[in-house]
Amino acid sequence: MSGTERPAFSAGWSVDDEGSTAALAADVRALVSALRRADAPTDDLVRAAALVREATALLGPHRVEGMAMQGRLGDEGPAGTGSMEPARFFPWSPIIGPLNPLSASMHLDFDAATSTMAGTATFDTQYVGPPGMVHGGIIALAFDELLGTTNVCLGLGGFTGTLSVRYERPTPIETELTMEARVERTEGRKVITVGTISHAGEVTARAEGIFIRTVMWEQDR
């Protein structure tokens, strides 16, 4: 199916070949990581640039116009939430989405028995801030997704109102990190959710988010 045959509102909500799209996105992420660490000779850089331009030209004609988003949509609202795997209902997320070439190596799973989110993340060199450390803004982005998806899995999805991050220790790049989150309480439409990022058993950063519950499906499309 070509881009011109899709309804305008479907842009970013579905692709015909999700498996191949995810595989290509993973290859692009690998390319970005390789380039960030590379000190290659000119000939190799020129050849790689030509290949990238060729790939861009190949995909260009298939651009779909319309409203882009990170989530899926079903007939009654966000789809895929029953899986409790955030990457399934936010496949275009810029931090966990398998279909987004910008996303990091961050994997989350919700435990319905304990109402907690847990996961792991490894941020490659393109996410560096201070030497050897993950950029603070990337940590904030990771927390926003960690806390937000926790809410969604509990049926408390909404917009981020405030996000407070406390950076307690350096968060290293190229090293597996662990992540946890839970809803602390609700106050009317407000959902207060907290989480941590840890390395080698020590918390490196904490966050508290205040989210405002909303029903996306009720908005004018």
* Dist. CA 143–CA 158, nearest whole Å: 15
3-6 long-range contacts, CB within 8 A, separation 24+: 3/61, 3/62, 3/63, 3/64, 3/65, 6/64, 6/66
What per-residue confidence (pLDDT) applies to 44? 98
What per-residue confidence (pLDDT) applies to 13? 63
Instruction: Record the pTM.
Output: 0.87
What per-residue confidence (pLDDT) applies to 173? 97
Of 116, 170, 165, the residue nearest 144 (C-alpha): 165
Task: Collect the ranges in the chain with pLDDT lower than 50.
Answer: 1-9, 11, 75-80, 217-221
Q: Which domains does the chain have, with CATH numbers?
A: 3-62 (no CATH), 81-216 (3.10.129.10)
Task: Say how many residues make up the chain.
Answer: 221
Determine the distance from the C-alpha atom of residue 21 to the mean position of all C-alpha atoms in its chain, rounded to a whole number: 16
Tokens of 198: 């840890």
In single-letter form, the type of residue at position 155 comes to: G
In sequence order, which residues have a C-beta less than 8 Å from that of residue 27 and are 6 or more positions away? none
130-163 pLDDT tens trace: 999 999 999 999 999 999 999 999 989 999 999 9
Give yes or no for a contact between 108 and 151, defined as CB atoms under 8 angstroms apart: no
31-35 long-range contacts, CB within 8 A, separation 24+: 32/101, 32/124, 32/126, 33/124, 33/125, 33/126
What per-residue confidence (pLDDT) applies to 218? 41
DSSP H helical ranges for the chain:
18-37, 42-59, 86-89, 136-153
